[in-house]
Amino acid sequence: MGKIQQNNLASVVLDHHQSTAGLWSSCRRKIINTMRCGGGGYRHHHHHRHTVQSQVVGKKPECRSDVNEKNNENLKNNDNVKNKKSDKLSELLRMSELYEEEEEAVKKKVENLEELKAVVKRLQCGGNDDVLGGAKDVRKLAKEDSDVRTMLALLGAIPPLVGMLDSEDLDSQIAALYALLNLGIGNDTNKAAIVKAGAVHKMLDLINLPNEGVPNPDVSAAIVANFLGLTALDSNKPIIGSSGAISFLVETLKISTEGKANSQVVQDCLRALYNLSILPSNVLPMIEIDDFVSFLLTTLGDMEVSDRILSILSNVVSTPEGRKALSSFQDSFQILVDVLSWTDSPSCQEQATYILMVMTHKSYRDRQAMIESGVSSSLLELTLLGSTLAQKRASRILEILRIDKGKQVSETFIGTIGSNVSAPLYGSTDSMSMRSADPSKVTEDERMMSDENKAVKHLVQQSLHSNMRRIVKRANLPQDFVPSEHFRSLTSISTSKSLPF
């Protein structure tokens, strides 16, 4: 009996388990179908219930087109959701790639920093070979990378390189010079640091070594290149200008020009001297060098250097000492006029006219020398064929020369009139007035002379008015310009009774 009950209970439990398993399996299939179809079973059930309700209430069920339209909307919504998920996934991938690139860049920067530290350490603590290799590495690394220049200077590469200039080894000197040159390219902070470390005087010491004849040309070229870079910084100009570097640059320029050895050295010397001449206090040490100005003027004519030389002379004439040195050279204006004649370079024309314009403004004697050199014809041609700036400067010079010439003519004419006044031809003023007071005592000759005097006075008045109008026109003065008292007194000469003719 007990076994029968147990069997029945087991069968009941088994049936319950089977029915429960079947129910769970059925529900699971519905859930999966719903997920696969996007909830279609639920919508179908809901639609069926809505249809039954509409039939009970008496409303018509929705048409098939409405159902299709809803299904299309649901599909569009699903596509939008998928697109958004795809966009987010793409964004995450891009962020991951950027992160990897940044991580790689940081890693590369760390490796480069360690390399630069090793180079500087070789300069500071290495032996002779290590120091020389370190200088060569600095020269190579700093040649084209501005960040490397900054980093090497921050790590302390400049002081040991400057110290290498005391070495007696020629290779070490040249390696250090070019390493310093590359460190200063486009970096004003490094240029100031190089000068502050005493590099200028050490460079000059290399040139002025005792028991040495002509300095090594490679060392000279490297020093000239360094001076060119260092003089580009304004704060370095007075230091280098007062150090004796100007004499070295001028001497190197003369040697290189005469020997035609290295055109690059000539260009570097001229550019360094131009940088120094920008500071007026450096002009005096230049012109104190024997034949410096005459050397520059006589070198004009070589198209490769004429532009640079005229640039230096433009700065030289900005000082009184420079203008005096230029005007004291006999053929200076003739050479400048010749430059205007043979050169087609707008830059050379503009700078030559600038020099002439400054000299014209400052000295009457220089203006006369220019006129004698035949500058007017060249300037007239330049006003037609030159660049815009050269035309303006040439017109200004011609204007000054014309005004000066007009003043000279007026002074000559005034002197002539004064001599006539001081030497009367027909007696004194009193005798003339006495005779004119008594018409019976005036002879026929005197009456004829009086008519001639009036005619001459009228001609003089017209001539003065004409000259005055011409001067006003050439000077571009306003038409209502009022002349000075001196000219007005001359133009009113016809009303004067004290002037005998």
pLDDT in tens, 443-488: 444 444 455 455 545 544 555 555 556 555 555 555 554 444 444 4
Q: Which of 4-18, 225-239, 468-482 has the lowest mean pLDDT?
A: 4-18
More confident residue, 265 or 211: 265
Q: What is the pLDDT of residue 54?
A: 43
Cβ contact 217:247 at 8 Å: no
pTM over 0.75: no
Amino acid found at 271: R
Residues 6+ apart with CB under 8 A from 110: none
More confident residue, 231 or 343: 231
Q: How far from chain centre, in Å, is Cα 73?
A: 65
Q: How far apart are CA 454 and CA 447, in angstroms?
A: 11
Q: What is the pLDDT of residue 44?
A: 45
Most confident of 76-80, 164-168, 362-366, 411-415: 164-168
Q: Residue 2 pLDDT > 60, yes or no?
A: no
Residues 6+ apart with CB under 8 A from 193: 153, 158
In this structure, what token pair is assigned to residue 377? 């014809």
Cβ contact 148:116 at 8 Å: yes
Confidence of residue 280 (pLDDT cuts 50, 70, 90): very high
Q: What is the pLDDT of residue 368?
A: 87
- Closest by alpha carbon to 227, among 210, 213, 197, 248? 248
Q: Residue 146 pLDDT > 50, yes or no?
A: yes
CA 80-84-89 angle, to 5 degrees, is 145
Read off φ and ψ for residue 484, nearest 5 degrees.
Answer: -70, 170
Q: Residue 499 pLDDT > 70, yes or no?
A: no
Helix crossing, 320-328 with 292-299: angle to 10°? Answer: 60
Q: What is the pLDDT of residue 196?
A: 96
Q: Which of 13-27, 204-218, 318-332 has the lowest mean pLDDT?
A: 13-27
In this structure, what token pair is assigned to residue 50? 């809505």
**In the block, which residue shows the tokens 């005197």?**
446
More confident residue, 313 or 99: 313
Amino acid found at 477: L
Residues 6+ apart with CB under 8 A from 177: 165, 203, 219, 222, 223, 225, 226
- Count of helices and strands (H, E) across the chain: 25, 0
Q: How far apart are CA 208 and CA 211, in angstroms?
A: 9
Most confident of 250-259, 299-308, 390-399: 390-399
More confident residue, 492 or 167: 167
Average predicted confidence (pLDDT) for the chain: 74
Q: How far apart are CA 139 and CA 149, in angstroms?
A: 10
Encode pLDDT of 170-229 as tens digits: 999 999 999 999 999 999 999 999 999 999 999 999 988 655 566 788 999 999 999 999
- Closest by alpha carbon to 147, among 113, 107, 120? 113
The two most distant CA atoms of the chain are separated, in Å, by 195
Q: What is the pLDDT of residue 81?
A: 63
Region 1-15 average pLDDT: 41
Cβ contact 319:284 at 8 Å: yes
Q: Residue 429 pLDDT > 60, yes or no?
A: no
Confidence of residue 38 (pLDDT cuts 50, 70, 90): very low
Cβ contact 230:187 at 8 Å: no
Q: Residue 370 pLDDT > 90, yes or no?
A: no
Using CA atoms, how far residue 285 sits from 39, 48, 272, 273, in Å, is: 97, 109, 14, 11
**In the block, which residue shows the tokens 């079947």?**
22
Cβ contact 394:434 at 8 Å: no
Q: Residue 82 pLDDT > 50, yes or no?
A: yes
Helices (H), 278-316: 283-287, 292-299, 303-316
- Closest by alpha carbon to 399, among 455, 476, 304? 476
Q: How far apart are CA 375 and CA 391, in angstroms?
A: 14
Output Rg (C-alpha) for the chain, integer angstroms: 50
The string of DSSP letters for 218-237 reads HHHHHHHHHHHHHTTSGGGH
Residues 6+ apart with CB under 8 A from 241: 276, 279, 281, 282, 285
Please state, for a pLDDT cut of 90, what percent of the chain lies above it.
40
Q: What is the pLDDT of residue 405?
A: 62
Cβ contact 286:328 at 8 Å: no
